[in-house]
Structure formats: structure tokens, C-alpha cells
Structure 1
Amino acid sequence: MTRSCATFILCFLTVFGIRKVRAQSGSDVQDVLTKLFTTDKYNKKIRPLVDQSNAVQIDVDFFLTSIIDFNDQDESLKTSGFLSLSWTDEYLQWDPSSYNGVNVLFLPQDDIWRPGVSLRNPYKSFTGLGSAFLNLRVDSNGLVEWFPFQVFESTCDVDITYFPFDSQECELKFIAWSYSQVEVELNKGARGVILVEYSPNAVWNIDSTSAHETNTGESSVTFTIKLKRKPGFYVINIIIPVILLSVLNIFAFALPVTTGERASYAVTVFLSLAVFLTIVSEELPTNSDVISILSVYLTAMITLSTVIVLICILELRLATRTVEEYPINKLFMAVYKVSLFLQCRKRKDKIKPAKMSETNSKKKLKKEDEFNPDRKKFQVTWMKIVSAMDYLLFWIFLLLTFILTLVLFLICANN
């Protein structure tokens, strides 16, 4: 038992004694810095290669943390995140065994060479990556790792065809501005766009991401983010009210002409649709190349509403006519017959409308009506013509509205 305790104590002292001897101090780090920047006279103006005919190989990954804003009208994307850039600096190498095991240094980014990477498609201002207070990680083999965090505002072409069921594809293109492909090559990393720290957005979902590099003439890496809009807000606040207004638009033909409110009702629905078209227009970018399907649908509904208003005014005009002054022509009689046929009703007016060619026809017609009550009761009048038109127009416009709405949803669903 005593021998075992002695062995344990010896091992304990040996391990901790070695650790104590091998402990790194601030002076060891200072010695490494003195070697690199004083003895070796490190110069950040020189590309970090002994053979200056080669290009510096830089691996780039992008950590996306959030989508701050996507502005449809300005066609801009505002994101936050940081790049992961790594390269080998052959002038920042040392032997850790000579400096008590110092293997890693953290240096201010302005103290060593950097590739001068910046956003190629900025929306407002052109700025370099990182800040003066950021440090880079450098190991003894010369591997430099840089993680500059930034809020990126980039341009993004917007396709509003399927708004609000649209998908947008935005690119963040990073380029080494100060160097050509001969001096610096940017290579996409193995992970591309990394979403481990991403916070979901209330308006957009990330559908997919990708990355590709361009090393022909200029050296750049492009990160592509495909966004899918969440349409719930627009469906509840725009699409459903517009469809309901379109249905109300049709019921102008169900309102009797005698009420005197039909024209004002139709005009009110027309103005409501015009207001919704204005709201949708404010949400969309000013773009003449691509037109939103929703805007086309609203325009079609407003066109139908305009036609309904004109028809209502025409029917009010027809309802004030009398058969004696304005005989019913063949076209209106055809409309009347079709309406009766569709309603599965038989005509009860077998007597044709009288022709008013003679001067005393009005008196004769009046006398005939007095002696023939059935003729007066079942004679085709302009009010009956208007009622027949209402019946046909109601179903015609209902069918048109249904077809247009169905086409809208089918197109959006296919997208």
C-alpha cells in the first residue's frame, strides 16, 4: 500500500512538474513577436509568399446570421453575418518548440497582410471588410484565419411576377479589389453559406443557398441565397378582400333597378378595387420589364367593375323606356328568350309587340289592353328585358370572375 502511494505521488509530481516547466508566459509570446516583426522584419505590404510569382490561395466561407431587410422597391438586401477567410502567410512561421510551445498568435488585422476583400455589389457605400479592433488568428505554420463580421447591404434583382408567392435569388459577390487573379485567388470553402447561427426572418424563408468562384480576370466568390416569401400577410390583407369585393361586384345585377342604388353600389365596389390596386402598387418595385400576376388580376377585376358600372347605367336608361315609345328590337328579344330558356320558364306573351308606324297606334294598343287584360299582363316590357339581362349578366360575370381567380391561383401554385 505504501509503495502504491509513493508511485502515485511520484507520477503526480512528474506530470505537474512538466506542465509547470512547459507553461507559456507573456515573454514567450513577446519573443515570437520580436522574431517575426523585428528580427525577420515582417512587411504587410508584401504578399505572403516567398515565391511572388504564385497566387495567394484564399478559402472563403460565409456565416449568415440574419436577414435584416429585403426592400422590394429599392431592390436591395440587408443581411448580417461574417466571412471566414483563411490563407497561408509564409512570413508568419516559427518553431513552437523554440518558444516554450507557443503555437498561436492573435494579431490586429491592420498589422499583417490582408487580401483587400470587399463586397462587389454594394447598395449604398463601398467599404472594406472588418474593423480595426478585430484580431486574426495565426498559427505556427503560417495559417491565418480572419472572421470579419459586418452588416452587408447588397443589390438584388427582384422578380415580382408571382408576388406574393414569389421567390427571390440574391447574390453577395466578394472580390479582391486590389489584386488580379494572378496575385490572389479566392476559392469557395467546403461549406459555402453556413446557417448554424441563422435567426429566422418573419417575412422570408431561405429556400436554398449555393456558392461559386470566378477566377478569370478577376478573383471573386459569389454566395447565392434563394428566398421564399411568406404570403400569409398578403393573402389575408389583400388577396381575400379583393376576391370578396369581386364577388360583391357581381351582385350589382342582383340589386333591383327600381331601388335606384345600383349605380352607386357598382361605383363603390369599383373604387374599393382601385384602392387595393394602389396598395399593391406601393408594395412592388417600379419595374416595367416584369408585371405582377396579382396586378394583372386586379386590373382585370377593375375592368370588369368598369363594365358593370356602364351596364348598370345603361340598364337604368332602358328601365325608363316604354314599349310604346321604344319598341323592343330583335336583339333584346333574343336576350329575353335565352334568359327564359336558362330559367326553364315558358313564354306567356304570345302576342308580338305592336309596331308604332301608324299615328293612332298608341290609342289602339291602349284600347286592346283594356279589353285584353292578359295581353297587358304578359306583354314583354323593358323592365322584363332588364330583368332578363340581369340574370344572364350575373352568371356571365360570375363565370369570368371564377375563371380569372382560378387562373391566378393555378399560376401561383405552379410557381
Structure 2
Amino acid sequence: MRYVHVAYIILLCISSVRISYCASYNNSVELMHDVLDGYDARQRPVSDQNNPIVVTISFNLLTVQEFDEVAAKFSTYGLLIIGWSDQIITWDPEDYGWAYSALFRLSDVWYPKLVLTNPYTKLSDLGDDWMTIRIYNSGYTTFVPGAVFDTSCNVDVTFYPFDTQVSYRLDSTRVERVGGGHGTSDTLNIIFKIKRKPMFLIVNVVLPIVFMAIINILVFLLPAESGERVSYSVTVLLALAVFMTLVGDNLPKTSEPMPILSYYLMILLILSTLMTVTTILNLSIYFKKGQVPGCLKSIFRFVYCFRCRFGRNTDKNNKVYPIDNTNKRKIPVVTTINSDIEEPDITWQDISTCIDWIAMAFFFFGTIIINAIFLSTMAKNKDSALNS
């Protein structure tokens, strides 16, 4: 059994041996001289110039180096694998020491001119003089240039920070060929779909904004005598303005499209401004002197159910009768009850308190509705982005 194993190993070693041929230096020099003699790199390498050259292109993405949504810059590093058939440069390997392929300088042979049509800095073709091209004896040619591609891109930040576009991750890629027609060049669109990881922005931007929008309403619960109402509301207003600036610094300087987060911040800023104005006007009412007009008193009674609070309702069925023990019957007693109870005077402080409750209810429901619409919209886009 041991001999069988040894024989099997020997057979494997023999079968793995390949006869290799190596062209010498002189063979390579002679090959270069012969195939390039009379070759013009300015002309397409086809015998019949009416026939097209079929060029195959594939792109291998190695790294995504940068995505700057503010500057609308997308930087990647990758390799383009380009192949075509050169009908002019062909040879018999037997004549050149069994050389089946050779490397040629980029400037010595024809190659398809590729141009990045959306560069971030300047427009230039792909390929440098130091690069080489490998051509096989059949004429098949391969060119593998590698480069850093700095491209400009249109950033859609409508659903920022839940946008699907550097803590991004590559989601998918695809290539689209756009034919240019007869006599024009074709276009290859290499499309990258990337997704943002929004948790950092949720914790550091979105949630603080939501919390500030909620605590901003509490300004109407502060006592007017404390003297802190205006400073409280202005502080929250400035905080929202600062967050709006921070969000704006991380977005592209363009108005198309505007992110929903910017509209959300603007609405909250408007609400905070209205709260500040309401607080200042209400404080002027609180410290106002003199009689309150009758119309404001009516509004106060309506809001506070003033008559229910200070009026007295007499139950007609709840009456007290003396009883005659001899005849066992009730003796009606006529009593006079003064139903007109004097109402306390309504002051400007009462009107200010009434305005506080009305304003608090209005801004509370307004803030809840705005936050609900914003969060539901962003969550819906987040789910659709993940499902896609």
C-alpha cells in the first residue's frame, strides 16, 4: 500500500511538470522591432478602417477613499481592465523564442482614449507614459491602468441623515453603457450606491434638537416674577440656531435639493421665535396696571369656566324641612337664599396666566405634530432604503 502511495505522488509530480519556453533578450528586441516597423499609433489597428474595434472594460474598485457631501466630491481608487484586438501587431511565437506576449510602452501602440467626464479638478485622459500594455501574439491586447478617481457628484441630502448615498458603507455598484451613435464616443456610467450610518448624527444632532423643541414649551410654566422667562426662551432659540449652523456646515452649499432636516430646523426656529415674542408680550400684560376690559374678562371666564368655579349651584331637591312629631308631617319653611355670590376681580395677572395656558397648549400640540411628521418621514425613508 505504501508503494501505491509513492507511485501516486510520482504521477502527480510528473503530471504537474510543464515545458516552459523563455524568449531571450535578443528575441524580445527583435520582436519589438519587427512588429512596430511601419506601425502608426495614431491609426486604429484594424485592416479595414470601416470596421469598429470592440473594447471591453471592467472596473475593480479597491477602496472608497472619500465622500465629501459639502464639496460634492467622491474619491475612489480602482483598476480598469481594458481589452481589445490589435490586428496589426501579430506574430508567430516560434520565430521569437516562443514569446507569446510582450509589453509595449503606452505611447508606442494605439489604445482607446478614456476621459473622466465629471472630474473634480481638471479634465484629462486616462493613462501615463510610464504605463505598459501587454499584447499577445494573436493581437489581443490588455491595458490595466490604476488611478485615483476624484469625481464631482450631485448629492441628494433630502433625507439627511437617513440618506442613501466618512462613515458610509458600499451597498452596490453597477455599470451603464450609453451609446453615442455613429461617429461619436460611448459613455460608461459607473454607479456607486452607498449608505450613511446615521447613528452618530441621530445621537448628536437629531435627538438634542427634538429635546430642545420639547423643553422650549416649558417657558410658559416659569413664574413671571422669576425674571428668567426671556433668558430661557432666548437661550433655547440660540441653541437651535447653533444646531442649524452645524447641520448646514455638513451639507452641500446648494439649494437643490434641500434636506428635510433643514426645513424641520427652520420650523422649530420659527416656533421658538414665536414663543419668545409671546413670552415678552405676555410679560408686558402681566405687569400692566388698570382695569381689564370686559371682552378679555369674557374670554377668561370662557377659558377657565369662571362661572363654574366661583358660582354656586343650589340643588332644588336638596331641601331641609322641620318635622312635626305629633302629625308626622313636614312643615314647609320659606328661606331666602342669596344666589348672587360676588365674583373676585379679574386682574391682568389672571389674563396673563390664561394666555400662558393657551400658548402652552398651542405650541405643545404644534411641536408634537411637527416632530411626528418629521420622524415618521425620516423613518419611512430609512425603512425603504434598508429594504432596497
TM-score of the two chains, using structure 2 as the length reference: 0.79
Deviation at 1:16, TM superposition (A): 11
Paired with 1:87 and 1:332, the residues of 2 have a C-alpha distance of: 91
Deviation at 1:308, TM superposition (A): 0.6
Q: 1:42 to 1:218 in 2, by over 3 A?
A: closer
Paired with 2:351 and 2:211, the residues of 1 have a C-alpha distance of: 29
Amino acid at match of 1:382: W
Tell me, yes or no, if the aligned pair for 1:70 and 1:77 is still in contact at 8 Å.
Answer: yes
Deviation per CA, 1:104-146: give whole Å up to 9, x if none: 2222222211111111121211222123332222222111111
Please state whether the residue corresponding to 2:55 is helix, strand or coil: strand
In the TM superposition, 1:331-350 aligns within 5 A as: 331=296, 333-335=298-300, 337-339=302-304, 346-348=308-310
Q: 1:320 to 1:55 in 2, by over 3 A?
A: same
Please state whether the residue corresponding to 1:309 is helix, strand or coil: helix
Task: Identify which of 320, 324, 332 aligns with 2:287.
Answer: 320
Task: Identify which of 228, 232, 237 aligns with 2:199.
Answer: 232
Deviation at 1:265, TM superposition (A): 0.8
Question: Is 1:384 aligned to 2:382, yes or no?
Answer: no
Q: 1:340 to 1:110 in 2, by over 3 A?
A: farther
Which residues of structure 1 form unaligned runs of 5+? 1-6, 169-201, 351-373
In structure 2, the partner of 1:371 is none
In structure 2, the partner of 1:101 is 98
Deviation per CA, 1:353-401: give whole Å up to 9, x if none: xxxxxxxxxxxxxxxxxxxxx958x443322332233233223212211
Task: Identify which of 273, 295, 298 aligns with 1:330.
Answer: 295
Tell me, yes or no, if the aligned pair for 1:349 and 1:380 is still in contact at 8 Å.
Answer: no
In structure 1, the partner of 2:378 is 412
Amino acid at match of 1:88: S
Task: Identify which of 123, 126, 130 aligns with 1:129.
Answer: 126
Paired with 2:86 and 2:189, the residues of 1 have a C-alpha distance of: 24
Please state whether the residue corresponding to 2:274 is helix, strand or coil: helix
Task: Identify which of 140, 160, 163 aligns with 1:166.
Answer: 163
Question: Is 1:206 aligned to 2:173, yes or no?
Answer: no
Please state whether the residue corresponding to 2:370 is helix, strand or coil: helix
Tell me, yes or no, if the aligned pair for 2:72 and 2:155 is still in contact at 8 Å.
Answer: yes
Amino acid at match of 1:391: W
Deviation per CA, 1:308-365: give whole Å up to 9, x if none: 111111211111134xx23243345435533559xxx941267xxxxxxxxxxxxxxx
Residue-pair matches, total: 340
Q: Which has the higher strand share?
A: 1
Question: Is 1:150 aligned to 2:132, yes or no?
Answer: no
Q: 1:275 to 1:333 in 2, by over 3 A?
A: farther
Amino acid at match of 1:389: I
Paired with 1:233 and 1:108, the residues of 2 have a C-alpha distance of: 49
Tell me, yes or no, if the aligned pair for 2:224 and 2:286 is still in contact at 8 Å.
Answer: yes
Paired with 2:43 and 2:29, the residues of 1 have a C-alpha distance of: 23
Paired with 1:235 and 1:17, the residues of 2 have a C-alpha distance of: 62
TM-score of the two chains, using structure 1 as the length reference: 0.74
Question: Is 1:35 aligned to 2:1, yes or no?
Answer: no
Deviation at 1:224, TM superposition (A): 1.5
Deviates more, 1:151-160 or 1:141-150: 151-160
Tell me, yes or no, if the aligned pair for 1:339 and 1:389 is still in contact at 8 Å.
Answer: no
Amino acid at match of 2:53: V
In structure 2, the partner of 1:141 is 138
Amino acid at match of 1:330: C
Deviation at 1:17, TM superposition (A): 11
Deviation per CA, 1:25-63: give whole Å up to 9, x if none: 32443343233124xx33322211111111111111112
Q: CA RMSD in A?
A: 2.9
Please state whether the residue corresponding to 1:118 is helix, strand or coil: coil
Tell me, yes or no, if the aligned pair for 2:217 and 2:360 is still in contact at 8 Å.
Answer: yes
In the TM superposition, 1:202-281 aligns within 5 A as: 202-215=166-179, 216=181, 217-281=184-248
Amino acid at match of 1:411: T
Please state whether the residue corresponding to 1:56 is helix, strand or coil: coil
In structure 2, the partner of 1:26 is 24
Amino acid at match of 2:214: V
Task: Identify which of 380, 383, 399 aligns with 2:365.
Answer: 399
Question: Is 1:118 aligned to 2:80, yes or no?
Answer: no
Please state whether the residue corresponding to 1:107 is helix, strand or coil: strand
In structure 1, the partner of 2:253 is 286
Tell me, yes or no, if the aligned pair for 2:237 and 2:272 is still in contact at 8 Å.
Answer: yes
Deviation at 1:225, TM superposition (A): 1.6
Tell me, yes or no, if the aligned pair for 1:339 and 1:391 is still in contact at 8 Å.
Answer: no
